[in-house]
Each structure stands twice: as structure tokens, then as C-alpha cells.
Amino acid sequence: MFFEICSKRQRRLSLLDRVTDDCQYLHEIILAVSVTCRKVHCEKIRQLSGYIIELTEQSKTHKNLSGRNHKLISIHGVERDLESNAKKLYQESDMKINLSGRTAFVTGGNLGLGRGMSLALAECGADVALTYYSHKQEGEETVRMIEDMGCRAYLFQLDATNSSQVDQVVGQVAEQFGGHIDILMNNAGHLIARKEIAEMSDEHWHKVMNVNVSTTFYCTRAVLPHMNTGWGRIVNMSSLAARNGGSYGQVAYSASKGAIISFTRALAKEVASKGITVNAVAPGVILETPFHETFTADDVLKTIINNTPLKRGGVPEDVAGAVIYFVSELGSFVTGEVLEINGGLYFA
């Protein structure tokens, strides 16, 4: 789109004349660069936008133009200069956030947070295998969305609390991906129900621990033999509840998510020599997910958001961005860390 806009500008007016009446055109260029360079992170977009502003200011005064390698005596010259820089920035960012050729396994990747992370991985070029326990239709929709991006996607039904089933599905995933799995996103988990400890049964306690901790253990154990290329990324799902104890009736859930943090740090030490990093994300209130739609009343959500310094709830894309950092080369020297994603509600 950026290059199409540039090619349509054939008139050769002076740079000074064009700047006085073409601010909208420069705005269009910024927007087009944002679309064209979809893999460029925000800092790169800001750099290019700043460069456009710099050229605009220089064009008004005609200062510092003579020393440039490009002759900026017409808007066509500006276009060529912008095009060169846009391509350069795109290539630089593509090297950093390019997961092309990588394979990812996302548990519970069919909807909510899992869908957001699955789509973000595919957006960066990774092929994705995702699982669902229920809501198969949403999983099929997610697969179609990934395939529309030009990546491979596979959907598997999985009860991740069943270790033998985990082993079977992971084997099938590895087979689809040519024998290796590069990225594991341990997203499967659940609150189950709010229970105070006085009324909590053994069954409830074990069910919460199984769905949050055992699933992470089973999937990690099954995937590790397939992280066999000297490069691997594991990201585990913790929670703000692990830090602050959660809210009413979350003793079991908070304890299980705290265990995820300890699991993450211990595993990071264990597998570092194999070129594998292990990190975790700890989201706070993330809207557009089944969790809060099911377990949190609207008035409670409003209170939490009002007490959040950024004055909003999160969305799945907020968590997905953190995951992409961990699994890309940007986070290659980071392991054993837990990233808080809560809008400033809690600082670790």
C-alpha cells in the first residue's frame, strides 16, 4: 500500500509547495507504512514517523538538504527516500520478529487468550497446532484464521489432565511438524469454581491443581523430547492471583498459579543448556475471555478497572504481545522470568 501511494504521485512540484498543502498525504504514508510493515514493532513505526516529520520540517526551511545523499528537490525524492527507509526498517524488524519455519503448540488455543496467542504466533509466521477441550467450533474458526495468514494450523481435542492423552496428541503434533516442536504455550487452565477453604472438598482442590499445574507438567514433559534442534521456547500461564492471592474463593487457584511460577524458574535452569528458555506471563483482568465472563460480575470488573492505573482492562492481544517477545529473538537472553500484565494494578 505504501509503495502504491508513492507511485500515484507523479507531479513534480517543489518540496516547499507540496508540504504546505499535503499534510494529509504524509499522514497517509504513515498509515500505509503501518499496514505494509505489519511485523514492525511500534518503536520502528515511531522511528519512521519521526523521519517523515524531520523531512517535513526540513522542507519548510530548506535547511540541511544539500548534505543528503538523496536529492530532496521534489516530492518524488521524498518518496524514494521514504521507500528506502521503509524497506530497511521492514527488513530489520523482520529479522527480529520472524517466526517463519517455527512450529508452535498452544494448549487451549481455540478461544480467548489462547486464540489471541495462536493468531499472534501465526502473524509472525509460525505454524500452529492448538487444542480444545470443548468449544470445537471456535477452534475450527481459529484454524481458518491462521490458514488465511498463510500458515499451517492443526486442531486437536485434548484433555490435558490425562497424561497418556497428552503424550498421544503431542506425538501427533510432532509428526505433523516433521519431528520437532519449537514453541510450547502452556495455556490450558481453569478456576473451576470459587470455593472458600472451609467448604472446599478434596476433589475440588485436586481438580484445580490438575487443570492448572498437572497440565503444564504433562505437556512440558511430552514436548521437551521434540525440542530437539538446540532451540526452544516454553511460556507458562500464571496469573495475578499468584501474586496477590486473587479475590474471593480463589485459594486453590492462587496456589496453583503460584506453583506455575516456581515450576517455570526451576525448569528454566534445567533446560537452559539445551538452548531452551522458559518464562511465564501473569495476566490480571483480561476482557473478551470466558474466564471473567463466567466468574466475575460486571460491578466487580468496573471496580478493578477503576483501581487500575491505566484505567482499562486488558485484551488477549496484550498477553499475546508478551508471549511474542519471549518466543522471538528479542527475548533470547531472558529465561526464568514472569511478566506481569495488569495495567499497573500490581508490581512484582
Judge contact between 65 and 58, C-beta under 8 A. Answer: yes
Q: What is the Cα–Cα distance from 134 to 118, expressed in whole angstroms?
A: 17
* Grid cell digits, residue 28: 497517509
**Known catalytic membership, residue 90:** no
Burial 309-323 (b: 16+ CB within 10 A, else e): eeeebbebebbbbbb
Q: DSSP secondary-structure letter at 195?
A: B
Q: What is the Cα–Cα distance from 208 to 204, expressed in whole angstroms?
A: 6
**CA neighbours closer than 13 Å in the CB half-sphere of residue 169:** 25
Q: What is the Cα–Cα distance from 205 to 60, expressed in whole angstroms?
A: 69
Catalytic residue among 154, 253, 325, 346: 253
Q: What is the Cα–Cα distance from 243 to 284, expressed in whole angstroms?
A: 10
Contacts of 202 (CB under 8 A, 6+ apart): none
**SS3 of residue 130 by DSSP:** strand
Any idea which residues carry the catalytic annotation? Answer: 253
